[in-house]
A and B are shown apart, each in its own frame.
Chain A
Amino acid sequence: MEWYFPKSLEELAELLKEEGVFIHAGGTAIKEERIKSAKRVIDISSLPLNYVKKDGDIWRIGATATLSRVMDSLESDHLLVKALKCTATTPLRNRITVGGSVFLSPLWSNFMGPLLALDAKLNVVGKLNGTYSYEEFLSNKAKFQGCAVTEVNFQAGGSTCFFFDRFARTANDYSALTVTLGFSMKGDVVDEAKIVVTGCKKVYERLNAVEAGFKGKSLKAIDPDRLFDDVKLEFADKPAGSGPYLAEVARVLLMRGFDALASAR
């Protein structure tokens, strides 16, 4: 088994064609057995992908940018910063990369809800080459095996207001669930709503029916107590609580999120 340190995307694309290769980014989710069983480990830290930059009205985040770097570079009240602040711990955030987190997209991900709400796109190289929506990536992860994520990008700013919260046993624990709400406003009324719950049995759920009900309405005209009544969220039992308990917590966080956004208007 050998470690490789490609310096260009061309070199990376060539290495990805080989059998038994495995990508290493921050390494925080890689078990020793996985390294032992790989023929080649490709460490991507020497690639020119450690950037966070605003390109016109698009934020572009290179795959090897760490969570700490993203938190330092985006606006302090950005949705992603709120989500990353409660992800793992300072030393882990200095090591965990955006590319690794997106490729892994685990059940406890704090990225998933925000990136879905932001309509994020991924640039990939390898077996597939090009730009794909993060939603497409999540819906067919197998298709992206043998690829490397090189960049995550999404629209900057705009008229959208966001809420993010998560539930975990302790501040440092893996998230049991996350809740993200985003409202694009036209004047006083909602033009588009995005509501995402993650950590559930389906990994994530977009609350499409509730989202549709918001369109064209003023937030003040909506009764928050009834808003999520018809939402059926299913969670598996986890160390943080039973499935029914987590579903109830998700509902409470959704209501809190709505209240926070409505009162901020």
Chain B
Amino acid sequence: MKASFNINGKVHELEFAPHARLLDLLRDNGFTEVKCGCREGFCGACSVLLDGELVNSCMVYAASVGERKITTVKGIGSIHEPHPIQEAFVEAGAVQCGFCTPGMVLATYALLQRNPDPTDEEIKEALDGNFCRCTGYVKIIDAVKLAARKVKEND
């Protein structure tokens, strides 16, 4: 199959199998910032935004994406121009091995779009699909709170 995909604001014409998952389509075409963890919808390493909503790309068939906009972590900021959320994760020490970080950053982005001033409980709920095996989550919650402040200052 061949179809157009809007990834991080650019249209890409890509070839894929009818049963391919969005995770594989992205990674096979160089978007390796999308990580592959469990492939079962549990860990959140493969998180992307579909029309602004957080989804597990391992649970999405590529053929079903259609014209929806796909955003990976590189779509919100780069190493040279990081998004305030990415800065907050670094400053709060919320990154150890970094495998969960793309998903955590995108989960935070989706949360702050809906709720710029989340409580601790709301942060935990919004990140409930993203596992981190290193940090113990405390620093991640700190990072989300710092990100909320930074995003507000930036606006």
Contacts and interface: CB of A to CB of B under 8 A. Distances in A.
A91 B64 contact: no
B18 A94 contact: no
A218 to B, nearest CB: 36
A57 interface: no
B64 A24 contact: yes
Contacts of B64: 3, 24, 27, 43, 45
Contacts, number: 72
A27 B128 contact: no
B19 A27 contact: no
A237 to B, nearest CB: 22
A89 B129 contact: yes
Interface string B18-46: 11010000000000000000000110100
Nearest to B124: A171
B61 A28 contact: no
Interface residues of B, number: 25
A27 B129 contact: no
A181 B127 CA distance: 30
B2 to A, nearest CB: 12
A32 B129 contact: no
Interface residues of A, number: 26
A1 interface: yes
Contacts of B125: 90
B7 interface: no
B56 A95 contact: yes
A37 B81 CA distance: 45
Interface of B: 1, 18-19, 21, 41-42, 44, 47, 50, 53-56, 59-61, 63-64, 66, 107, 125-129
27 contacts: A2-B18, A3-B63, A24-B61, A27-B59, A28-B41, A35-B18, A35-B61, A36-B18, A36-B19, A41-B63, A43-B64, A45-B64, A45-B66, A46-B66, A89-B129, A90-B127, A91-B44, A91-B55, A91-B56, A91-B129, A92-B56, A92-B129, A94-B50, A94-B54, A95-B55, A95-B56, A172-B42
